[in-house]
Amino acid sequence: MREARRARTRARLLAAVFSLSAVSAAAQSPTPPLRDVFRRVRPAVVVIATRQKELAPEGRRGFVDLQGLGSGVVISEGGHVLTAAHVVQTAEEIVVSFESAVVPARVVASSLLSDVALLQLEKVPPGLVVARLGDSNRVEIGDPVFVVGHPFGLDYTLTTGVLSARRRPKKTAGSMTLREVFQTDAAVNQGNSGGPMFNMQGEVVGIVSALVSKSGGFEGLGFATPSNVARRLLLDQKGFWTGVDGYLVDGEMAGVLNLPQPAGFLVERVAGSSPGSRLGLHPGSFRVTIEGEGVLLGGDVVLEVLGIPIVDEAALEKVPAALARLSAGDLLTVKVLREGKVMELSSRIPPPDMR
Which CATH number fits the domain that encloses residue 174? Answer: 2.40.10.10
Mean pLDDT by 10 residues, the chain (355 residues): 52 45 45 91 96 76 83 97 96 94 95 93 95 96 95 88 83 50 90 94 93 53 93 91 93 92 96 94 87 84 97 90 92 96 95 62
CB 71 within 8 A of CB 88: no
Whether 215 is covered by a domain: the verdict is yes
Residues 138 and 111 in one domain: no
The CATH number of residue 345's host domain is 2.30.42.10
Q: In whole angstroms, what is the distance from residue 321 CA to residue 348 CA?
A: 18
The answer to whether residues 234 and 117 touch, using CB atoms and an 8 Å cutoff, is yes
pLDDT of amino acid 54: 83
Please say whether the beta carbons of 210 and 174 come within 8 A: yes
Residue-level pLDDT at 152: 84
- The angle subtended at Cα 80 by Cα 72 and Cα 115, nearest 5°, is 50
Cα 349 to its chain centre, rounded Å, is 25
Contact at 8 Å (CB) between 334 and 302?
Answer: yes
Same structural domain, 184 and 159: yes
Same domain, yes or no: 64 and 164: no
Cβ neighbours of residue 37 under 8 Å, at least 6 residues apart? 198, 200, 201, 202
Q: Are residues 117 and 136 in the same domain?
A: no
Listed residues 66, 87, 121: the one ending a domain? 121
What beta strand segments (E) does 271-340 contain? Answer: 286-290, 293-297, 301-305, 308-309, 331-338
pLDDT of res. 6:
53
Look at residue 215 and give its three-state secondary structure.
coil
How much of the chain is helix, strand and coil, in % rounded to 5? Answer: 25, 35, 40
3-state SS, residue 84: coil
In contact, 239 and 109? CB cutoff 8 Å: yes
pLDDT, residue 13, reads 45
What's the pLDDT score for residue 338?
Answer: 96
pLDDT of res. 211: 57
Assess whether 143 and 58 both reside in one domain.
no
- Determine, yes or no, domain membership for 32: no
CA-nearest of 354, 336, 351, 120 to 244 is: 336
Evaluate whether residue 4 is within a structural domain: no
Residues forming the active site:
86, 115, 193
Q: Per the structure, how many domains does the chain have?
A: 3
- Nearest alpha-carbon partner for 112 in 347, 269, 279, 285: 269
pLDDT of residue 200: 96
Number of residues that make up the chain: 355
Domain C-terminal end among 121, 156, 177: 121
Q: What is the CA radius of gyration of the chain?
A: 25
Closest CA to 110 of 352, 320, 264: 320
Report how far residue 46's alpha carbon sits from residue 96's, in angstroms, rounded to the nearest whole number.
6
Q: Note whether residue 235 is domain-resident.
A: no
Amino acid at 261: Q
Q: Where are the alpha helices (DSSP H) in the chain?
A: 2-27, 34-41, 85-88, 227-230, 251-256, 275-279, 313-324
Contact in structure between 273 and 121 (CB atoms under 8 Å): no
What is the C-alpha separation between 296 and 287, in angstroms, rounded?
Answer: 5
Integer CA distances (angstroms), 252 to 132, 256, 310, 319, in order: 45, 6, 16, 23
What pTM value is reported for the model?
0.85
Does one domain contain both 174 and 199? yes
Residues 76 and 137 in one domain: no
From the list 172, 36, 42, 110, the residue with the least C-alpha distance to 182 is: 172
Quote the pLDDT of residue 191.
Answer: 86
Same structural domain, 226 and 259: no
Q: Which domain holds residue 254?
A: 244-354
CA dist 63 and 55 (Å) reads 4
Q: Which of 230, 255, 278 is the last residue of a domain?
A: 230
Residues 6+ apart with CB under 8 A from 115: 84, 85, 86, 176, 178, 207, 209, 210, 225
Amino acid identity of residue 175, one-letter, is S
